[in-house]
Amino acid sequence: MTAAALIETRTTCPYCGVGCGVIAQHDGVQITGVRGDPDHPANFGRLCSKGANLHLTTLPEVAQTSRLLTPGMRVERSAPMQTVSWDSALDSVAERIAQTVAEHGPDSVGIYVSGQLLTEDYYAFNKLTKALIGTQNIDTNSRLCMSSAVAGYKATLGTDSVPCSYEDIDHARVLFISGSNTAFAHPVLYRRIEAARAANPDLKIIVVDPRRTDTAAEADLHLPILPGTDVMLYQGMLHIMLWESWIDRVFIDARTEGFDQLKAQVRNATPAEVARVCGIDQAALLEATRLFATQGPTLSLYCQGLNQSADGTHKNAALINLHLATGQIGKPGAGPFSLTGQPNAMGGREVGGLANLLPAHRDLSNPAHRAEVAAFWGIDEVPTTRGKTAVEMFEAARTGQIKLLWIVCTNPAHSLPNQQAVHEALSTVPCVIVQDAFASPATLRYADIVLPATPWAEKDGTVTNSERRISRQRAVLPPMGEARHDWLIAAQVAQNLAARWGRLQRGFAWADSEAVWNEWRELTRGTDCDITGMSYAMLDAAPQQWPLREGEATGAARLFTDGRFHTPSGRARFVAQGYKPVADRVDAQFPLALTTGRLRDQWHGLSRTGLVPKLFAHAPEPRIEMNGADMGRRGLREGDLVAVESRRGRQVLPVAASDAMRSGQAFMAMHWGEEYLGGAGTHGVNSVTSDAIDPVSRQPELKHAAVRVSKLDLS
Ligand code: SF4
């Protein structure tokens, strides 16, 4: 192939929430390479190792062995999957849903989707679930990564609105990075942090993390708090700010409410007490507080370390409290900035594709909001009660309340916590429909019906990154095999159901993804995430941040600049809530605090990065990392096979010494599942993780499990 024959198509990386612009080089049949889009404001041409190797996940020879390419069905789980026509598969899906609803009611259906879906896909599934089937039982694997951030913003700012932009990194004088190994999980954003530091040697970086990650190792100050003690740390910082008069009294009086309750609550969070509970040095605590409060603007970047917790909502709120107390929000370089893990977790939040949300940040408990959505969709009412969230949905399947699970673009038999319970649920539920581009054996094993979907290179639509920036994802190649777009599959099942039930006949007759987008953006009119001014044509010219109302030329880089918040009073709310320890406590039987996380070159359950051999060079195999002293006490040597056991399950893998953690702690990456660990029955890190959930956000505590580690007896 000559270089002249190549075409270049602008699109967006489908991995993390940084949302980098990618230029795919191809001949219309095969993608031969990718490069960073120099004009995309998320990355300005940079790509990380995952993004730079995207084309290698699309090679025809790779796709033939990794993709789902034809619809399939089987009469029972022990029978082989038979290839069927799309008409037959779609009719069977609709038939099974109609039958389940008729026999057990709409709440017996659960639809479990993904932050990998495009906004148009999310919208179609949300409408199908809530407007047609008549249940709020749609939830997403994004529940596992960002629902505590949503709940934290709503509790304090009154709305799920990320106040900041990536450009705030360039304006900040202090970066306060909490529970985020940005260098590994958001690599291109970390390059921006490095560039900001090179341009401004006075920029101070503080990292709060139990582990000395690559991000922490480069920080000016690392606070290695004990797992789960974040709220105590933030309350201690506020205590010091009050003592030293480092708060912004004018901002507090004019723009907030609830400060007096919080002030009373942090009275006992003295530096000595906080240092004891958090296991950190008092001098470091004082210095971090001084930098945060007096050397700003301070920008907080945070992610799963706060979110994946049974107290994640309060961790988020406690950090936002610090920004409100110092007036550091709505200004260049200042604010609380949650980073999203997945490429379109934000889009899912916007369309309301979760069990407790309505489209465009409308509130499920607000009758006027429900009426607006119902009127738009042409139905009498939307279901009023919150549906089952991720962990709850599978538990409801396990206990028989949910009779049909439709799993879209995700691999819950690998990624949900407490895998023993998840596999029991998948075995128990009478009907499992799996819709995906890639064949993930762990979940596929339970499928009664398989629907092949298009992946990144073949689909068209939009995604929203961590900074509220919406970018176009464009089809580079035609669909392989018989794969169809996710939104189209949802629409075709919906049309079949609508015909059976005699309602909403024209509600899903979209011609293409742009038609879905145009309907969706109209539903945002007048809301805080109004995108009525954002057309495909505009996005084709350049990605845009929301809100962007009809008639406006550009979106908003920064929110709350006028000091008004989306609460009834217009004031931001301080949340006063005490420190709550981790749910799964260490004890003599399970003495190690295990935390989990991402590696630099891998993505989720390896369905795509696992197709690229060179991405294993950085970390060739799964392992549990432990402090050398803990290994010595157990007679363990580097590479020994060990059994890792929790109150829920067991995993076998090699051990590696690491000085990144103090004694009593351990770390495992989230990526490896049964395909890499010895087949069915080996579930990776989630064999041992806890399914304890935050009572507000319903996000599980994937960041902490109490475990014991012992040498495997191979005799
Ligand atoms: Fe893709 Fe994230 Fe890497 Fe950017 S930083 S190239 S979005 S994986």
In this predicted model, what pLDDT tens digit does every residue of 74-110 receive, in sequence order? 999 999 999 999 999 999 999 999 999 999 999 999 9
The CA distance from 263 to 270, in Å, is 12
132 lines ligand 1 (CB under 6 A): no
Write the pLDDT tens digit of every residue in 413-452. Answer: 999 999 999 999 999 999 999 999 999 999 999 999 999 9
Return the pLDDT at 432. Answer: 98
20 lines ligand 1 (CB under 6 A): yes
Strands 624-626 and 665-669: antiparallel
Atom in ligand 1 nearest the alpha carbon of residue 189: 5
Return the pLDDT at 229. Answer: 98
The CA distance from 587 to 581, in Å, is 13
The CA distance from 451 to 435, in Å, is 5
Write the pLDDT tens digit of every residue in 447-477. Answer: 999 999 999 999 999 999 999 999 999 999 9
H/E stretch holding 702 reads none
Task: Sketch out the chain's domains with CATH numbers.
Answer: 3-65 (3.30.200.210), 72-145+344-459+482-509 (3.40.50.740), 147-339 (3.40.228.10), 592-711 (2.40.40.20)
The CA distance from 217 to 122, in Å, is 38
What DSSP string runs through 345-380?
A: HHHHHHHT-STTB-GGG-BTT-HHHHHHHHHHHTSS
CA 189 / ligand 1 centre spacing (Å): 9
16 lines ligand 1 (CB under 6 A): yes
CA 147 / ligand 1 centre spacing (Å): 21
CA 456 / ligand 1 centre spacing (Å): 14
Q: Whose CA is nearest to atom 3 of ligand 1?
A: 48
Write out the two tokens for 333: 């370089």
Question: H helices of 114-225, where?
Answer: 119-127, 147-157, 168-171, 182-185, 187-199, 214-217
590 lines ligand 1 (CB under 6 A): no
Under 8 Å between Cβ of 17 and 301: no
Give 71's contacts (C-beta < 8 A, 6+ positions apart).
Answer: 83, 84, 85, 86, 88, 89, 449, 450, 451, 452, 482
Which of 35, 48, 169 is the pocket-test mutation for ligand 1 (most atoms within 8 Å of CB)? Answer: 48
Please name the amino acid found at residue 46.
R
615 lines ligand 1 (CB under 6 A): no
CA 12 / ligand 1 centre spacing (Å): 9
Under 8 Å between Cβ of 76 and 489: no
Please name the amino acid found at residue 552.
E
Write out the two tokens for 172: 């900040």
CA 47 / ligand 1 centre spacing (Å): 6
Closest among 371, 426, 438, 344 to 393, alpha carbons compared? 426
Task: Give the count of beta carbons closer than 10 Å to the beta carbon of residue 662.
Answer: 16
Q: Whose CA is nearest to atom 4 of ligand 1?
A: 20
Q: What dihedral angle (degrees, nearest 10) is formed by the CA atoms of 177, 183, 187, 192?
A: 60
47 lines ligand 1 (CB under 6 A): yes
CA 538 / ligand 1 centre spacing (Å): 23
The CA distance from 578 to 325, in Å, is 17
pLDDT < 70: residue spans in the chain: 1-4, 715
Atom in ligand 1 nearest the alpha carbon of residue 19: 7
**Interface pTM, i.e. ipTM:** 1.00
188 lines ligand 1 (CB under 6 A): yes
Atom in ligand 1 nearest the alpha carbon of residue 16: 2
206 lines ligand 1 (CB under 6 A): no
Q: How many CA atoms lie within 13 A of 127 on its CB side?
A: 36
CA 176 / ligand 1 centre spacing (Å): 22
493 lines ligand 1 (CB under 6 A): no
123 lines ligand 1 (CB under 6 A): no
CA 573 / ligand 1 centre spacing (Å): 34
Write out the two tokens for 229: 């003690």
Write out the two tokens for 481: 């095999």
Please name the amino acid found at residue 370.
R
Under 8 Å between Cβ of 66 and 439: yes
Which of 37, 40, 47, 346 is the pocket-test mutation for ligand 1 (most atoms within 8 Å of CB)? Answer: 47
598 lines ligand 1 (CB under 6 A): no
Write the pLDDT tens digit of every residue in 539-562. Answer: 999 999 999 999 999 999 999 999
Q: Whose CA is nearest to atom 2 of ligand 1?
A: 16
Strands 298-302 and 335-338: parallel
Under 8 Å between Cβ of 137 and 296: no
Q: Whose CA is nearest to atom 5 of ligand 1?
A: 188
H/E stretch holding 583 reads none
CA 52 / ligand 1 centre spacing (Å): 8
CA 51 / ligand 1 centre spacing (Å): 5
